[in-house]
Structure 1
Amino acid sequence: MMDMDMPAVFSTSTQITVLFTGWTTSTTTQYVFTLIFLFLLAIFNRFLGALKFQLEKSWSQHPSTPQALLLAPVNRRNIRKAKLSPLPDYIRVHGNDLEEESLAVLNNDNETRSTSRNLKRDGFCNRTSLECLLPSWKASGTWSLPKDGTRALLECVRALIGYFLMLSVMTFNVGVFVVVLFGVLVGELLLGRFSQGSPGWQEGTCHGG
């Protein structure tokens, strides 16, 4: 039988060990400072969620992708015209030709879509094609190291803090449990309006930060 040191019931003791043996509150002052630290950490975790949402919102409003440049105006002096026609040579005036070309393009497009649907339905889709494997995946923009790196770093830090708070609560100390929940409450009251629509990594977990 293994000796389990982890408590299974809540206690009100001021002597607790958080994560490692070096962090043991042997006095009431150390216990109070630990509670204050966990309270601020819970609020900071909510701040990171709001910061991530605001960055995402700013990036979506100011995309860094270059805009399409307008084509240079065509020099009308170089456009040839038929001798007996007021229209330039590149304009086709035969309605039948235009209709035939449009019908041909539509028929080819319909055949291509039909063939693609048949291949996907029959299981002959190319396995290396992301469009076949993940047809509904659409990126919000092109990959960028500053943006994607910042996004990944914030999410990693939030995950680290979330697990830290979760393991702290698992000490089954009443004070730790209360201050972590109170920190989540205060953080949401102060910063919740800055992160509407952004559940983030922590939603639905036991630490809720």
Structure 2
Amino acid sequence: MSSMGSMSMVFTTAHNTPLYSGAWTPTSTGAYAGTCIFLIVLAILSRLLQAWRHTLEQKFHDRAMKRRYVVVRGEQEGEQDGDQLSGESEAAKEKLEQQAILTSRGLDEKVRIITAHSRSKETTPWRISTDVPRACVYTLQAGLGYLLMLAVMTLNVGYFLSVLAGLFVGELAIGRYASPVEDHH
């Protein structure tokens, strides 16, 4: 027969419920209030991280979509400008002329800058400058979510309501910056 020790299986209002370790056991009403305030701040930080992650994802996406590629046309010897455009329509020729690039040598009509266009859920190539920060922020967000979950799992009413209050205040303050569809921990 296994013993559950002092772990309660029902909600409790005791002010001496340990949080995260036996060393963090409030011994007074003030210490309990401080622990509840800590949980409120932790939950607000959780919402801040979610909004920051969403903002970073938008920035990463925008940067990927605005990445430019230089295309050089007609670099082969003996090819004339008129020869390379002869098969194209007049509208294409005009568009190409409008996209001529000003270089240190003057106007260069052989160079075009194109922008990648977004397709639905197209994956971008792996980049250290994007994927490492994304992984770090996600790990922090998951860690905070698990800490909040452990606080709720103590089944202490004050801890539970503190987490809910922090999530409410965080959502009220910065929820508009977070993605509308996100995982909730």
Match of 2:168 in 1: 185
Which stretches of structure 1, 4 residues or more, deviate above 4 A after TM superposition? 72-76
- Which of 133, 142, 151 is 1:168 aligned to? 151
What letter corresponds to residue 55 of structure 2 in structure 1?
Q
What letter corresponds to residue 181 of structure 1 in structure 2?
L
Match of 2:111 in 1: none
Alignment partners' CA distance in 1, 2:160 and 2:173: 20
- 1:71-86 matches, cutoff 5 A: 71=72, 78-79=78-79
Match of 2:93 in 1: none
Structure 1 residue 50, shift from structure 2 partner? 0.4
What letter corresponds to residue 162 of structure 2 in structure 1?
V
- Which of 121, 124, 129 is 1:146 aligned to? 129
Alignment partners' CA distance in 1, 2:36 and 2:172: 20
Aligned residues: 150
Structure 1 residue 67, shift from structure 2 partner? 2.2
Match of 2:15 in 1: 14
**CA contact under 8 A between 1:53 and 1:198: conserved in structure 2?**
no
Match of 1:43 in 2: 44
- Structure 2 unaligned blocks of 5 or more: 88-120
Structure 1 residue 154, shift from structure 2 partner? 0.9
Alignment partners' CA distance in 2, 1:31 and 1:63: 48
What letter corresponds to residue 37 of structure 1 in structure 2?
F
**CA contact under 8 A between 1:18 and 1:171: conserved in structure 2?**
yes
Structure 1 residue 146, shift from structure 2 partner? 2.3
SS at match of 1:29: helix
What letter corresponds to residue 18 of structure 1 in structure 2?
L
Structure 1 residue 68, shift from structure 2 partner? 2.3
Structure 1 residue 158, shift from structure 2 partner? 1.1
Alignment partners' CA distance in 1, 2:67 and 2:161: 50
Structure ranking higher in strand proportion: 2
- Structure 1 unaligned blocks of 5 or more: 81-86, 93-136
**CA contact under 8 A between 1:65 and 1:142: conserved in structure 2?**
no
What letter corresponds to residue 144 of structure 1 in structure 2?
R
1:94-121 superposed Cα distances (whole Å, 9 cap, x missing partner): xxxxxxxxxxxxxxxxxxxxxxxxxxxx
Match of 2:56 in 1: 55
Calculate percent identity across the aligned residue pairs: 32
Please tell me whether residue 27 in structure 1 is matched to residue 28 in structure 2.
Answer: yes
What letter corresponds to residue 179 of structure 1 in structure 2?
S
Structure 1 residue 174, shift from structure 2 partner? 1.1
Q: 1:29 and 1:71, CA in 2 relative to 1: closer, same or farther beyond 3 A? A: same
Match of 2:178 in 1: 195
Alignment partners' CA distance in 2, 1:11 and 1:33: 18
**CA contact under 8 A between 1:168 and 1:176: conserved in structure 2?**
yes
Alignment partners' CA distance in 2, 1:198 and 1:53: 10
Alignment partners' CA distance in 2, 1:79 and 1:30: 82
